[in-house]
Amino acid sequence: MFGLILDQDSMMNHVHTSLGSDTTEKARLELNENPDTLHQDIQQVRDMIVTRPDIGFLRTDDEFILRFLRARKFDHVETFRLLAQYFQFRQQNLDMFQSFKVDDLGIKRALMDGFPGVLDIPDQHGRKILILFASNWDQSRNSFVDILRAILLSLEVLIEKPELQINGFTLIIDWSNFSFKQASKLTPNILKLAIEGLQDSFPARFGGIHFVNQPWYIHAMFTIIKPFLKDKTRKRVNSDDLFSFPACSSLWEVFHPV
């Protein structure tokens, strides 16, 4: 246990004083966040836990629940649904989370191969940019599940930052040189697992998902997974020319230095 335990008022004040004024205002306008009612918002979500005795809620502290409230714009019912799905997904996929740490061999190899790459510079909306170069997937080294685990672990670390809970993420997937043979390993069940883990069970706000340089069979794959995507997610998936993407020149220099 920590030697210093802050009372709720001190904790919530700390959460907000650590944010810049622009970010605090963005949380108010876009996420319906009100510092004066944070205690009540968090407690209303926490009170719903008794309705799901089938799920082990391993964390219920204020800061943890707050990230789910931000991900669902302070809709209490939707927040609790996401919180329940977060733990249910982990219960239903125990093998994915038994050694869920950076020194796990599968996760470590995926991270070393750039799954995901994380840029220091944000996009123009303050979102953290994640990039995946799909052709880096060496199927003799990494299973898709290990790549998914590495992405989820990276998000777990990043989402600790309140600014990213509010601003969210932009995901870029570059399909250059991604072969048909590699794509054949992306089965509907595997893709459904990824969608459940990222879209339905994690408290992150994805403001944009950009596919670049995708071959025809990736278009076909997207048609297969569309039924599993929420309307909001479908609208945020874009096919782009890399060089038209904001901050792309910096991105290209970081990942493809001359």
Could you read off the pLDDT of 113-123 as tens digits, one per residue?
999 999 999 99
Q: Which pairs count as long-range contacts for 61-68, CB under 8 Å and 24+ apart, including other chains?
A: 62/8, 62/11, 62/12, 62/38, 63/11, 63/15, 66/15, 66/38, 66/42, 66/165, 67/159, 67/165, 67/203, 68/203
**pLDDT for 3 beyond 90:** no
**pLDDT for 5 beyond 90:** no
* 86 and 200 in a common domain: no
1 occurs within a structural domain: no
**pLDDT for 72 beyond 80:** yes
**What single-letter amino acid sits at 105?**
L
Residue range(s) defining the domain that contains residue 211 = 101-255
The rounded distance, in Å, linking the Cα atoms of 253 and 220 is 31
For 167-195, the three-class secondary structure string (H helix, E strand, C coil) is: HCEEEEEECCCCCHHHHCCCCHHHHHHHH
The rounded distance, in Å, linking the Cα atoms of 73 and 76 is 9
Domain total in the chain:
2
70 neighbors 30 (Cβ within 8 angstroms) = no
Q: Give 194-213 pLDDT, tens digit per residue.
A: 999 999 999 999 998 899 99
Give the mean pLDDT of the chain: 88
* 106 and 128 in a common domain: yes
38 occurs within a structural domain: yes
Which pLDDT value is given to residue 229? Answer: 84
2 occurs within a structural domain: no
